[in-house]
A = this chain, B = another copy of it.
Amino acid sequence: MIFQRHPLLISMFSKLQRFVQPIRSMSTITIPNSKQPAHRLTMIPGPIEFSDDVLDAMSTPSQAHTSPDFIPVFQEVLQNTRKLFKSSNPTSQPIVISASGSLGWDIVGANFLNRGEKTLVFSTGFFSDRLADALSYYTETDVDVVKAPLGESVPLSEVEKALSAKSYDVVTITHVDTSSAVISDVEAIAKKIRSIQPEALVVVDAVCSAGVEDIQFDNWGLDYVLTASQKAVGVPAGLSISIASERAVKKAFAKKRPTSYYANLQKWIPIMQAYEHGKGAYYATPPIQLIHAYRVSLREILEQGLDNRFAKHAETSNKFKDNLESLGLKLVAKREFGANGLTAVYFPKSINGPDLLKKISEKGVTLSTGIYAGIATEYFRVGHMGVSAVGKDRHDVDIVFRLIKETLEELEK
């Protein structure tokens, strides 16, 4: 492998030297102008690095879930969750529940599907396949999966073919599959679904996209979009965040027998509506501190402007991907299918992959292994979402690139 030492990179490296320096002595990174203690930088595709204010909100003293201190916080969070998904339709329903993102899959299965109903999953990797698996628990029948070629999303011709062959109750799109770093064109696929099978509910797994990629819930005719707090939304793990359309809500309420207590929208929706209208309600205790942190993060995201934020993420992502390619490294997702919140990179054949991640970890940065079936050991993943990608005074992504370059050189000696 040839390292191309062009002047631009050299200048960037010397500018970064002062941030990288402390790594060598203590395996942690000091973030400039931050109250956070020096720590190993978390540059995986979630959990991501958090802003100081988000972390501060995590240690909010105790509040009752129905106290006047908390109700307006949850109210604001639900109102701003609509904005995150660009929904202004009052019939759409934001839902925030204490859980990891995958609870959203149970919400789909337990509310929008009945035994024997048909589901179609457009798969771009590991997480799409898991979603298919999760839904089959509820339909108790096989879920049809159309797999994209590695590094690409499902071609629209394949989308059309599958939708023309058989009728479906629910069709799912994984916006960004965190295993392949491939982004799917949700707008175009949703349009196809709505035109060929207008009755099918359109479900989008936005776990690795909400907050970094554009999502237009109303305009694109989506029925349910789910995400998690620890990705581009920039909040510690523990919140399942989603939004449902009017017809999705109707289907949930038409269900005769609940098939989950914790994922039962017939119970959750009145709770969410109460809080959004400034009243407390109880089904299960909400995670007060995480909701405070999410409020702070939503404010930061909306103050920045969603479209600005998406553009900034794309800029950071493109620069990082360009830099990696300039080293001769090969990306898993073809550039035209590359997500902006993470990059999946093949290890060069000349080195032992795990050594690279281990050495970079020893230098104070955590990167992620591969997880896509068949090539899991051949690549690694770097997350670049939230403050790491768009934060003022943050050079996290440049630090990561510098470390990758430097460590590859060491390993190839």
Per-position 1/0 for A335-378, Cβ under 8 A of B: 00000000000000000000000000100001010010000000
A62 touching B48 in the complex, CB below 8 Å, given contacts A98-B100, A102-B261, A258-B137: yes
User: Given the complex of chains A and B, what is the CA–CA distance between A80 and B62 in angstroms?
Assistant: 24
User: Given the complex of chains A and B, what is the CA–CA distance between A156 and B21 in angstroms?
Assistant: 69
Indicate if A319 sits at the interface (CB-CB under 8 A).
no
Q: How far is the CB of A377 from chain B (nearest CB, A)?
A: 15
Q: How far is the CB of A368 from chain B (nearest CB, A)?
A: 7
- A54 and chain B: residue at smallest CB distance: B59
Q: How far is the CB of A68 from chain B (nearest CB, A)?
A: 7
Main secondary structure of the interface of A (DSSP, over half): loop
Q: Chain B residues near A199: list those with CB within 8 A.
A: none
Q: Chain B residues near A137: list those with CB within 8 A.
A: 257-261
Per-position 1/0 for A43-66, Cβ under 8 A of B: 010111110000110111111110
Contact of A259 among B60, B237, B259 (CB under 8 A): B259
Number of copies of this kind of chain in the complex: 2
Per-position 1/0 for A120-132, Cβ under 8 A of B: 0000000000100
Q: How far is the CB of A270 from chain B (nearest CB, A)?
A: 15
Indicate if A236 sits at the interface (CB-CB under 8 A).
yes
Per-position 1/0 for A238-256, Cβ under 8 A of B: 1000000000000000000
Contact yes or no, B61 A58, CB < 8 A: no
Interface residues of A in 73-102 (CB under 8 A from B): 97-102
Most chain B CB inside 10 Å of its own CB: which residue of A37, A44, A140: A44
Q: Chain B residues near A64: list those with CB within 8 A.
A: 42, 44, 47, 366, 368
Indicate if A230 sits at the interface (CB-CB under 8 A).
yes
User: Given the complex of chains A and B, what is the CA–CA distance between A69 and B62 in angstroms?
Assistant: 27
Q: Which of A11-19, A180-188, A280-288 contacts B (4 or more CB under 8 A)?
A: A280-288
A257 touching B63 in the complex, CB below 8 Å, given contacts A238-B290, A285-B237, A286-B237: no
Contact yes or no, B62 A59, CB < 8 A: no
Contact yes or no, B100 A262, CB < 8 A: yes
Q: Which of A103-111, A157-165, A166-174, A219-227 contacts B (4 or more CB under 8 A)?
A: A103-111
A62 touching B47 in the complex, CB below 8 Å, given contacts A68-B361, A106-B262: yes
Q: How far is the CB of A370 from chain B (nearest CB, A)?
A: 12
Contact yes or no, A47 B285, CB < 8 A: yes
Q: Chain B residues near A371: list those with CB within 8 A.
A: 282
Indicate if A228 sits at the interface (CB-CB under 8 A).
yes
Q: How far is the CB of A361 from chain B (nearest CB, A)?
A: 7
Contact yes or no, B59 A284, CB < 8 A: no
Q: How far is the CB of A300 from chain B (nearest CB, A)?
A: 15
Contact of A63 among B42, B58, B98, B102 (CB under 8 A): B42
Indicate if A40 sits at the interface (CB-CB under 8 A).
yes
Contact yes or no, A55 B47, CB < 8 A: no
Per-position 1/0 for A260-291, Cβ under 8 A of B: 11110000000000000000001011111110
Kindly list 6 other residue pairs between chains A and B, CB separation below 8 angstroms, not including A46-B285, A68-B361: A44-B64, A47-B63, A47-B285, A100-B286, A130-B261, A137-B259
The 6 A-B residue pairs whose C-beta atoms are closest, nearest first, are A238-B287, A100-B284, A134-B261, A42-B62, A55-B59, A58-B58
Residue pairs across A and B with Cβ atoms less than 8 A apart, 24 shown, are A39-B61, A39-B62, A42-B62, A42-B63, A46-B285, A47-B65, A55-B60, A55-B61, A56-B59, A62-B236, A64-B366, A65-B237, A67-B366, A97-B100, A98-B98, A100-B262, A100-B285, A103-B284, A106-B262, A106-B263, A137-B259, A237-B285, A238-B238, A260-B260
